Structure 1
Amino acid sequence: MALPVEELTLKQLQQFHNIDRMAYSRLVLTLRFDPFPSMKIVAFWNFLERIGFKHFLHNLLHFSDPMIFSLAKETLVCLECLFCSPQEIFPWVHLDFPEMNKLVGQEILLGFLFKNRETVKGMIEDFVKDVCQVAFMDIVEGNLGCKPSSNPDSELDSPTSDDGGDNGELSTDDGKARVDSEDRSLFMTFSRGHPVSNQELHGFIVGKYGKCVEAIYMDKNPKRLFACVVLRSHSDLSRILGGQKLVKFFINGKQVRVRRFVPKCRK
């Protein structure tokens, strides 16, 4: 269960969600699932606990890696069902979730999720925003192999995540051949005194290039000098850069410089 973030320090939030963090670490660091869809996986598992399946996360931590891997794959499919359009629901209703049923029994039916899909989606998205994108960020940064830098023009400096809202689709990639998020990330710097908001940035990219945004991480500084944008694929990155090392955009009259994100450890 999530607590109001504003009432907790980061350390307290991490301690309160220690089991969630353990599950997330196992997905990302051990099983090599992508960091960002994995947040929704943990959020869904937390949702199951909140609706009555007690100790769901604690119990699954005792599973073997292959079992958790299978459960995570099932969860991704379940999430894709939840976030698909109403016209696409019918083909999913006959799916079975054997690993999930080992933990929760037959009560976890897609019919229940579809009937309450907007409430369920809202609970998942709130948990991702209020918990995962705050309490898991040290794990994300460790997975990306980045160390904080005081120079915002050369590296992402311990950012907080601010989801752009484009979370309606999920990949069911098994994670074994995952393309590292850093290989499909853009680093964007803003002119001093002319910060660009998350909403402006997301709206511009989606409006110009379509649904290609997976996550947006904004500078902690209130003046917001830079951001890191994780795209859905490397081809999206190539399409936006157009073969150039540096491109410039004007978003609502504000200049934004864009280049590929290169962590310090690769330089």
Structure 2
Amino acid sequence: MDGTRYTVTLDEFKLFHVIDRSVYLVLVKDLLRNPQECLYIMALWLWLEREGFYNFINKILSLPPFLINELADEAVTCLKCVNAQFPFSSEASEIPLTHSLVKKDISLQFFLKRHLTAFDEIQNLVRGVCVPSMSDIMEMGCHGRFSESLMTVPIAHVAPSSVDSSLVQSISSLRISGDVSPLRGRGRANNETSRNDRTMFVTFSKGYPVTENEVRQFFTMLFGNCIESFHMQEVWPDEQALYAKIVFVRASFIRAILSGVSKAKFTINGKHVWMRKFVPKNDRPQARVDPINFSA
């Protein structure tokens, strides 16, 4: 060794972390998550890679945004485990998406056991890696304005054909393990409330008939075994059903589908499908009826 020192420019540093920048951009631009919080999320994922969970962030980039969003939610829970400043409840949910992605045994206990050293290491990754490589994206995220001209290093893109659909399905299927019968052991009133919370109203375009099987296959590909029951509009054999109700096994599937909006649009086999949360008739706001003045 001749002791020669090499200087890495900021652009070269960003280029080295182009995959990390791409995931961070999805978090703050597409999913509208808090840019500062996302620095810690990225640092946690980088820390996992250093702990032996290789290519974790690269795998994340191949997933659809709604799954990345839920992985980020799990990351926040993990950060609470390693940071003593955050209250941690023993009732906190486990991390099935993260577990499925790493294909190794990992749980919240993994982070709890390492909390004495993990958070300091994550803080160092925030300061030493995330801020230098992602601060330009963070600044744009804080102001809500993203300009391609400010991206001095191109963001990596994954072609749709490269998305690992089997990985998406395995992750989504795992999310419902142990909770396939969410209504068991509850009262009838609670059952109905829970059922309504897990129900979506689906509408189809007239002239573009969609079958129950097409819709089932679409969501099974995304979430695995996620549908408890499916109720298509009853019509005559020569008529087209224009709406349906889908009861999912978990309300979390509805949150993933809507991703913060009131109505979501999908294209299934080239046909448009709109979905919104089902609202029972007795919960809908009643139209105001003014009294009639018969003396007029």
- Normalised to the residue count of structure 2, the TM-score between the two structures is 0.44
**Structure (1 or 2) with the larger CA radius of gyration:** 2
- Normalised to the residue count of structure 1, the TM-score between the two structures is 0.49
- Which gives a bigger RCO, structure 1 or 2 (Cα 8 Å, sep 6+)? 1
